Amino acid sequence: MKLPRFCAPVIWFAAVLTAFPAVGLAQSGAAEALGFSPERLNRLDAVIQSNIENHQLAGAVMYIGRNGQTAHLKAYGLQDIENKQLMATDAIFRIASMSKAVTTVAALMLYEEGRFMLNDPVSKYIPAFANSVVAVPPPPGSPPDLKYTTVPVKRPITIRDLMRHTSGLTYGDGLAVDDYKKANLYYWYFANHDETIGAAVDRLAKLPLHGQPGQAWQYGFSSDVLGRLVEVVSGLSLDRFIEERITRPLKMVDTSFYLPVGKESRLANVYGLEHGQLVLKETAEKSDYVHGPRRCFSGGAGLLSTIGDYSRLLQMLLNEGELDGVRLLSPKTVRLMHANQVGDKYSNDTHGFGLGFWVNDDPGFYGEIVSEGAYGWGSAYNPQYLVDPKEKIVAIFMTQLMPAGNSDLNQKFKVLTYQALVKPNP
């Protein structure tokens, strides 16, 4: 539905400035003392607010932390335009592909326990992948209705392939797209599936890959298979493993696969840009994350979280595996996560890729004002995060905008964060 016009003026003045951290965020520190220019941070606020005033965004939350302290935290606009509900710093968001970092951490915790090697074949733990094949164009002279044929994989999919998206798995796009759609395995969304992720992954394994393992970076179901691997190796369902081993120890109190009862009012609405107009796409009242089967735990795109919770995960990574006395990973493992694992195979030409997220190992080559070694990712709902080990920065832009039209705010936020950084790490 299109947004009622009477709501527009409300959006214009609905920026909410918070002088205190949301639940889970690091203690507040003065932006200037942490090396940021308050005047230049106003540029960041102004660009986000301009998107709201121009009806390109309903609301958002922005967080910048340095050295474990909060330099900037602000909520903008509305999380529910129809009911004139202001965006709050503790709003709950569907984080979709930002789930991938959580699932990768889970798998690497098991790797550190000696449960597997990164170059082990996935089929050693999920036998359904033992006979994988790759879809290729049919030979000349084939019947016109033959869309592809298959060839054997040149080598098995490895666990590292899943982490760096070189498994040959897409989100269904490719020569075999019709078969993926028939199998109900097209697109990243699993919240409405009345089945386990194990059943979905076993069905996925019967479909042809869209690339040879290890030969190209292809974004897709790899992290969902990785989540299933966590289940098989640990003996726990993915939701239990993440809750018991990651979110509870890190005090990520609002991170889960489905929304707990009583938190409905905190789930931000999804809005989308269609033909230049902002339209309502999903509310808590009509969300699979609230009213769905609650059976399928998607390690690639299934989690809900807050900016406070997610900042704790990222601070743990910035601290090389530890936060507030809780260690999940070793420093060496975290460094491996943000080493470029794909060389020149990342097709976007904008970053390298590590284990679970993009990495920028050459800012001059990629043309970004981030530090060498910074890493991060975003999601279909148009948020984005980054971690900068050199400057000791964690920055997160959270919103619920899908489809995002031609909005590039999730990329501009990086520029607007770094242009406000005027002092070296104190």
Asked if 327 and 408 sit in the same domain, the reply is: yes
Report whether pLDDT(22) > 70.
no
- Considering only CA atoms, which of 254, 251, 276, 252 is closest in space to residue 265? 254
Q: What is the pLDDT of residue 347?
A: 59
Q: Are 76 and 88 in contact (CB under 8 A)?
A: no
171 to 184, 385, 401: CA distances (angstroms) = 11, 22, 20
Q: List the one residue out of 421, 423, 426 whose CA is nearest residue 41.
A: 421
In a domain? residue 21? yes
Residues of the chain with pLDDT > 70: what percent? 91
Instruction: Give a yes or no: residue 331 inside a domain.
Output: yes
pTM exceeding the 0.75 threshold for the entire prediction: yes
Which residue reads 């529910």 in tokens? 80
Same domain, 281 and 394: yes
Which tens digit of pLDDT belongs to each residue from 190-232? Answer: 999 999 999 999 999 999 999 999 999 999 999 999 999 999 9
What span, in angstroms and rounded, lies between the C-alpha atoms of 9 and 27? 33
Q: 3-state SS of 193-235? A: CCCCHHHHHHHHCCCCECCCCCCCCCCCCHHHHHHHHHHHHHC
Residue 353 lies in a domain: no
At 424 the pLDDT is: 85
Per-residue tokens: 230: 């966590």
Q: How confident is the model at residue 24 (pLDDT cuts 50, 70, 90)?
A: very low
- pLDDT score at 12: 36
Average pLDDT on 275-298 reads 97
Same domain, 186 and 279: no
Would you say residue 251 lies in a domain? no
The answer as to whether 426 is a domain residue is no
Lowest mean pLDDT among 166-170, 232-236, 343-347, 418-422: 343-347
Mark whether 212 and 91 lie in a shared domain.
no
Are 274 and 319 in a shared domain? yes
Task: Report how far residue 413's alpha carbon sits from residue 62's, in angstroms, rounded to the nearest whole number.
Answer: 9
Characterize 131-144 residue by residue with b for buried, 16 or more Cβ atoms within 10 angstroms of its Cβ, and e for exposed: ebbbbeeeeeeeee
Domain shared by 230 and 326, yes or no: no
d(CA 224, CA 297): 8
58 within some domain? yes
SS3 of the chain: CECCHHHHHHHHCCCEECCCCCCCCCCECCCCCCCECHHHHHHHHHHHHHHHHCCCCCEEEEEEEECCEEEEEEEEEEEECCCCEECCCCCEEECHHHHHHHHHHHHHHHHHCCCCCCCCEHHHCCHHHCCCEEEECCCCCCCCCCCCEEEECCCCCEHHHHHHCCCCCCCCCCCCHHHHHHCCCCCCCCCCCCCCHHHHHHHHCCCCECCCCCCCCCCCCHHHHHHHHHHHHHCCCHHHHHHHHHHCCCCCCCCECCCCCCCHHHECCEEEEECCEEEEEECHHHCHHHHCCCCCCCCCCCCEECHHHHHHHHHHHHCCCEECCEECCCHHHHHHHCCCCCCCCCCCCCCEECCCCEEECCHHHHCCCCCCCEEEEECCCCCEEEEECCCCEEEEEEECECCCCCCCHHHHHHHHHHCCECCCCC
Q: pLDDT tens digit string along 336-393?
A: 999 999 987 665 656 799 999 999 998 988 888 999 999 999 999 999 999 999 999 9
Average pLDDT over residues 404-421: 96
Question: What residues make up the domain containing 204?
Answer: 102-240
Domain assignment of residue 285, yes or no: yes
**In terms of domains, do 70 and 106 share one?**
no
CA distance 168 to 165: 8
Q: Is residue 215 domain-shared with residue 68, that is, in the same domain? A: no
Q: Do residue 329 and residue 403 come from a single domain?
A: yes
Q: Is the pLDDT of residue 25 over 90?
A: no
Task: Report if residue 351 sits inside a domain.
Answer: no
Per the structure, the count of domains in the chain is 2
CB 248, CB 256: distance < 8 Å? no
pLDDT digits (tens, 9 = 90+) for 240-250: 999 999 999 99
Query: CATH no. for residue 66?
Result: 3.40.710.10
CA distance 104 to 69: 25
Gap between the Cα atoms of 326 and 252, Å rounded: 13
How far apart are the C-alpha atoms of 99 and 252, rounded to whole Å?
13
